[in-house]
Amino acid sequence: MKSVLNYGMSLLKENPVFGLYLGICSTLAITINLNNALGMGLSVIIILTISNVVISAIRKITPDEIRIPVYIVVIATLVKAIELLIRAYAPAIDQALGIFIPLIVVNCIILGRAEAFASKNGVVASALDGLNMGVAYTLSLVAMSLVRQILATGIVDLSNPFTNTEIFSITLIPSQYTIPIFSGAIGAFLTFALLAAGISAIKNAEEKKLKGAK
């Protein structure tokens, strides 16, 4: 139980969106519903993990002068592969996310972990780092999409990305009490600000607790 709590706290402290404030643009744009969040989150997990592994594997043979272009080529290749797979097998996700899948290439999280971690550590450690950061990013997307979707529509639903058939749909708030503004840009910024403030408060409380224990 303690290890689970420690892992949860590490995800909060090193959260790429609410802790490090990376990848915010795509987060604000796509977190309209749960389908978008899970589609983008899974894509980033796969790309981040594999790119970390590849970059870690070639770190000793990559000259410092060209390391950033090499990282970008690796990431761009993976992104293109994922984009083509989504287009072929999950057209609903492809249509919903649109340009944001190719833009994963310039996502600060991917290149940031490549430069800060994968280029300096072994393959296994880099794979775990990519997986952890990808999961943390996905949880951020899910949290924002749930808040926005529930407040804007009163409904939480999920569809099969391969067949576009509905998996579940739950009404939590009657339509007359919904706040449609949360489906737009203003709602995205408000949701981000509230969640970031809440996570910052948790982190500060944990730091004070640790200082008090000393």
One digit per residue, the tens of pLDDT, for the chain of length 214 reads 545 445 555 666 677 888 778 778 888 888 888 888 888 888 889 999 999 999 999 988 888 888 888 888 888 898 888 888 888 888 877 777 777 777 777 777 888 888 888 888 889 999 999 898 888 889 899 999 999 999 999 989 888 776 677 888 889 888 888 989 998 889 999 999 998 888 888 877 877 776 766 6
Q: What is the pLDDT of residue 168?
A: 85
Q: What residues contact 63, with CB distance under 8 A and at least 6 apart?
A: none
The answer to the question of residue 136 being in a domain is: yes
Q: Which H or E run contains 83? A: helix 67-89
Range of the domain at 131: 14-213
The reported pLDDT for the residue numbered 205 is 80
The reply to whether 8 falls in a domain is: no
Instruction: For residue 163, tell me if it sits in a domain.
Output: yes
Residue 160 lies in a domain: yes
Residues 6+ positions from 189 with CB-CB distance below 8 Å: 28
For residue 164, tell me if it sits in a domain: yes
- The answer to whether residue 141 sits within a structural domain is yes
Which of 167, 26, 160 shows the shortest CA–CA distance to 101?
A: 26
Whether the CB-CB separation of 134 and 49 falls below 8 Å is answered with yes
pLDDT at residue number 4: 47
Total of domains in the chain:
1
pLDDT of residue 53: 93
Residues 92, 93, 98, 102: is their CA dihedral positive or negative?
negative
> Residue 36 in contact with residue 97, Cβ under 8 Å?
yes
